[in-house]
């Protein structure tokens, strides 16, 4: 039987469907007329009615719900078995996941076992004749590569916020099928012993509409208090360059870039950051980049919509004061 349709592997965090899953469902809807079949979602773990409803209202016409002991938290070796078994049942042509911590880990494992082709971190997907065409940034975001796959099964992870979710349609109908799977425990080599929630203050970096990142030019950890102050006024979150995280001035969770987080806010303010390609790989998708740097030749200015040449010690307090006044904060 020819593979048809699209399966979105849902991500559920804190009992809620992650935004990237809704974005994947919207993309699936766009591609479905050319790929045939339907748009289904696979939800693993504690699949509540609210989770199923959220998936259906955002475009899934079928939800495969898999609940079994040991699946409440992400377990690489168990989840890969679930994905394999549900794909064997659903027979999709395309499987979509988010380019998240889980997606990055699960997609290559599943693709290997299923002998599927895989493109990671896609910012565009289309169908050209018999092939699925995937676009992804390469060389630290300086170029885009386009891959085509005519394989029976293609898998892709999508970059968060690269696609827009559809508004929820509460009148949408869908079927929820409880699927029982067999987990071979002898293959479950990695076990989660404990989950520690990161003490995140304020907005998550990935979800923030405004991100203010600091670089090595700040000179130490103390100035980050000033960045936090501005973030609070603008309703944003604070990020950092790798140089800053390597120096221990900020936790690694705040790192933006190739080996850090990818952010796509409406506004990205880079304070005392040089704009190395590896940093820009994590923020070039921002709608507007504003740079504050004392070196007029710094490459960050080539990437920015607006820039101020000056020492952050002078520019930042004045800018923060102006924002406070304008926002009435
Ligand atoms: C494989 C690999 C992966 C990497 N991944 C990442 C990544 O994920 N994220 C990342 O950020 N980097 C990454 N890097 C490192 C990257 O190449 C840069 O070294 C790093 O981004 C530099 O950080 P920075 O801009 O804070 O520091 P610097 O390059 O030292 O720049 C500091 C800037 O501050 C300015 N400045 C200094 N004083 C002031 C002042 N008083 N006022 C205003 N401006 C001032 C300077 O003009 C300069 O432009 C990676 C590198 C490699 C090889």
Same domain, yes or no: 170 and 63: yes
Same domain, yes or no: 85 and 130: yes
> 319: part of which helix (H) or strand (E)?
helix 312-327
> Residues 247-254: contacts with CB within 8 Å, 24+ apart?
247/216, 248/221, 249/218, 249/220, 249/221, 249/224, 250/214, 250/221, 250/224, 253/198, 253/205, 254/205
Same domain, yes or no: 283 and 235: yes
- Structural domain ending residue among the three candidates 129, 155, 187: 187
Q: How far apart are CA 316 and CA 222, in angstroms?
A: 14
Same domain, yes or no: 152 and 220: no
Q: How many domains does the chain contain in total? A: 2
Give me the pLDDT at residue 63, please: 98
Give me the pLDDT at residue 70, please: 85
Same domain, yes or no: 54 and 135: yes
Residue numbers of the domain that contains 183: 6-187
Residue 261 belongs to some domain of the structure: yes
Same domain, yes or no: 144 and 276: no
CATH number at residue 76: 3.40.50.620
- Structural domain ending residue among the three candidates 161, 187, 213: 187
State the distance from the centre of ligand 1 to the C-alpha of 224, rounded, in angstroms.
15
In three-state secondary structure terms, 24 is: helix
Q: Which of 139, 218, 274 to mutate to test the pocket of ligand 1 (most atoms within 8 A of CB)?
A: 274
Give me the pLDDT at residue 234, please: 96
CB 258 near ligand 1, within 6 Å? yes
pLDDT band at 190 (very low <50, low <70, confident <90, very high): confident
Alpha helices in 262-311 (DSSP H): 277-280, 300-303
CB 254 near ligand 1, within 6 Å? no
Same domain, yes or no: 244 and 313: yes
Over residues 268-290, the pLDDT tens digits come to: 999 999 999 999 989 988 999 99
Same domain, yes or no: 46 and 92: yes
Share of the chain above pLDDT 90, in %: 84
CB 29 near ligand 1, within 6 Å? no
Instruction: Enter the pTM of the model.
Output: 0.76
For the residues of 188-243, what is the DSSP string, one character each?
A: --------------SS-GGG-SEEEEE-GGG-SSTTHHHHHHHHHHHT-EEEE-HH
């Amino acid at each position: 039987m020819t593979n048809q349709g699209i399966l979105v592997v849902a991500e559920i965090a804190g009992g809620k469907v992650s935004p990237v899953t809704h974005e994947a469902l919207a993309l699936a809807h766009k591609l479905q007329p050319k790929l045939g079949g339907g748009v289904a979602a696979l939800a693993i773990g504690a699949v509540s009615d609210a989770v199923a409803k959220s998936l259906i209202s955002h475009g899934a016409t079928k939800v495969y719900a898999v609940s079994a002991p040991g699946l409440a938290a992400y377990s690489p070796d168990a989840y890969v078995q679930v994905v394999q078994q549900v794909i064997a049942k659903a027979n999709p042509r395309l499987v979509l996941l988010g380019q998240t911590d889980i997606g990055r880990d699960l997609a290559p494992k599943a693709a290997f076992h299923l002998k599927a082709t895989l493109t990671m971190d896609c910012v565009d997907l289309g169908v050209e004749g018999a092939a699925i065409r995937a676009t992804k940034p390469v060389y630290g975001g300086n170029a885009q590569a386009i891959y085509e796959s005519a394989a029976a099964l293609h898998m892709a992870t999508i970059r968060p916020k690269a696609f827009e979710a559809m508004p929820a349609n509460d009148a949408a109908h869908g079927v929820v099928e409880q699927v029982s799977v067999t987990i071979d425990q002898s293959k479950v080599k990695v076990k989660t012993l404990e989950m520690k929630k990161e003490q995140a203050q304020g907005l998550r970096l990935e979800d923030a509409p405004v991100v203010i990142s600091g670089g090595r030019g700040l000179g130490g950890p103390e100035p980050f208090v000033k960045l936090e102050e501005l973030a609070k006024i603008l309703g944003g979150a604070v990020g950092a360059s790798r140089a800053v995280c390597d120096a221990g001035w900020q936790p690694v969770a705040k790192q933006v870039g190739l080996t850090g987080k990818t952010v796509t806010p409406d506004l990205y303010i880079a304070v005392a950051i040089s704009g190395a390609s590896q940093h820009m790989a994590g923020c070039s998708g921002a709608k507007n980049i504003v740079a504050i740097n004392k070196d007029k030749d710094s490459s960050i200015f080539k990437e920015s919509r607006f820039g101020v040449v000056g020492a952050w010690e002078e520019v930042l307090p004045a800018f923060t004061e102006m924002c406070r006044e304008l926002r009435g904060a």
